[in-house]
Homo-oligomer: A and B are copies of this chain.
Amino acid sequence: MIKAGIVGGTGYTGVELLRILATHPQVEVACITSRTEAGMAVADMYTNLRGYYDLAFTEPDVEVLAQCDLVFFATPHGVAMRMAPELLARGVRIVDLSADFRIKDLDVWARWYGMPHDTAEWAEKAVYGLPEVARDAIRNAELVANPGCYPTAVQLGFLPLLENGLVRTGHLVADAKSGASGAGRQGKIGMLHGEVGESFKAYGASGHRHLPEIRQGLEQAAGGKVGISFVPHLVPMVRGIEATLYAELDNPADFDRLQGLFEDRYRDEPFVDVMPFGSHPETRSVRGENSCRMALHRQEDSPIVIVSSVIDNLVKGAAGQAVQNMNIMFGLDERAGLQAPALLP
């Protein structure tokens, strides 16, 4: 059994890690930390876990965490950056669900996250954990930077187009929508049910932290500069992300081979599902599940290819992808702990 630790377990990604790992056949959660809730049983905070865990939250303690084979960081940015190096030095492997190691250009990171980055060495060594792109590197990684939720949905949808150089990369559009759990579990007025319920809005439309992360991934795939407009929106639901992507084909004749190309690209991927051309993926079709489902569209004879891509922001967009990365790192079946259909309806 792999011994896993979780740092910062009181948020939604923390409870989601516990939910998924509860049925993982080869992993045992050895400890889960929370400064604010130390001493509280996890099943008292998250009653869905009653009967599944006897564990209580503890103060973060490097000595205890160092006993683990792997530690998940489910913390706000800035925490993993400080705590990870010592654990890594002691041989603990890490999947960081926060943003600390996702961006390679540390000036960019510092500008978007409002603090200096103080572990350049590990930022460089960290593997950006999108398995569909970096599976081999993840296998041997000491430190995996688990992708953000929007970046996962957006990159997976654009990848086949960019990798094959089929679209004009100057003016991509990613119009993305997320349920409220994406904002985490903090007592912000703007995220009250009374504020979010029965309403819809864009946010971060002048610039969101996931923009540089998305651009970095797309530029790597395209092998050059990419111009992208990314606007996230808040949906009055709990879970789910849908991203509608727009790109102009260099050669509209390529429309004929797009579907095949997407299917080929993801044929061997256990967690990407290319639906028939013209389908409309629903977020509920991946609720609680680690998949990304997507479908392609064309309007009349337009040269614009439209991709609709959906994930569960807490699963393929966070905890599920983290477990997928762990499975890869430890040579387990990549689907271990992740093999149950989504909850629909």
* CB contact between A206 and one of B18, B191, B278 (< 8 Å): that residue: B278
Taking the nearest CB of chain B, how far is it from the CB of A17, in angstroms?
Answer: 12
Bound-state Cα–Cα, A200 to B51, Å: 21
The interface residues of chain B lying within 8 Å CB-to-CB of A248 are: 171
Min CB distance, A292 to chain B, in Å? 12
A275 to chain B, nearest CB (A): 7
Q: Is A35 an interface residue (CB 8 A)?
A: no
Q: Known: A229-B246, A244-B175. Contact between A49 and B341, CB under 8 A? A: yes
Q: A164 on the interface (CB 8 Å rule)?
A: no
Distance A46 CA – B287 CA, assembled complex (angstroms):
13
A242: interface (CB < 8 Å): yes
CB-based contact A197/B202 at 8 Å:
no
Q: 5 interchain pairs (CB within 8 A)?
A: A48-B341, A185-B189, A200-B242, A200-B283, A201-B283
Task: Please measure, in the bound complex, the distance between the C-alpha atom of A48 and the C-alpha atom of B198, giving whole angstroms.
Answer: 14
6 cross-chain pairs, A with B, having the tightest CB-CB distances, nearest first: A199-B284, A187-B187, A175-B175, A48-B342, A180-B193, A193-B196
Find chain B residues with CB under 8 A from A221 CB: none
Q: Please judge, given known A-B contacts A180-B194, A284-B48, A299-B211, whether A201 and B306 are in contact too, CB under 8 Å.
A: no
Contact A197 B229 (CB under 8 A): no
Residues of A whose CB lies within 8 Å of any CB of B are 12, 15, 18-19, 22-23, 46-52, 171, 173, 175, 177, 179-181, 183, 185-189, 191-203, 205-207, 211, 227, 229-231, 233, 235-240, 242, 244, 246, 248, 273, 275, 278, 280-289, 291, 293, 297-300, 302, 304, 306, 308, 310, 314, 339-345
Neighbouring B residues of A185 by C-beta, 8 Å:
189, 192, 194-195, 345
Q: How far is the CA of A308 from the CA of B231 in the complex (A)?
A: 10
In the complex, A273 Cα to B203 Cα: how many Å?
A: 18
For the complex, give the distance between the alpha carbons of A285 and B281 in Å: 27
User: Which B residues are CB-close (under 8 A) to A195?
Assistant: 185, 193, 345
Which residues of B are found within 8 Å of A286, using beta-carbon distances? Answer: 48
Interface centre among A18, A207, A341 (most CB of B within 10 A): A341
Contacts of A188 in B (CB 8 A): 187, 192
- A345 & B12 in contact (Cβ 8 Å cutoff): yes
The reply to whether B284 and A198 form a contact with Cβ atoms under 8 Å apart is yes
Of A177, A188, A273, A298, most B-chain CB atoms within 10 Å: A177
Q: Is the CB of A304 within 8 A of B235?
A: no
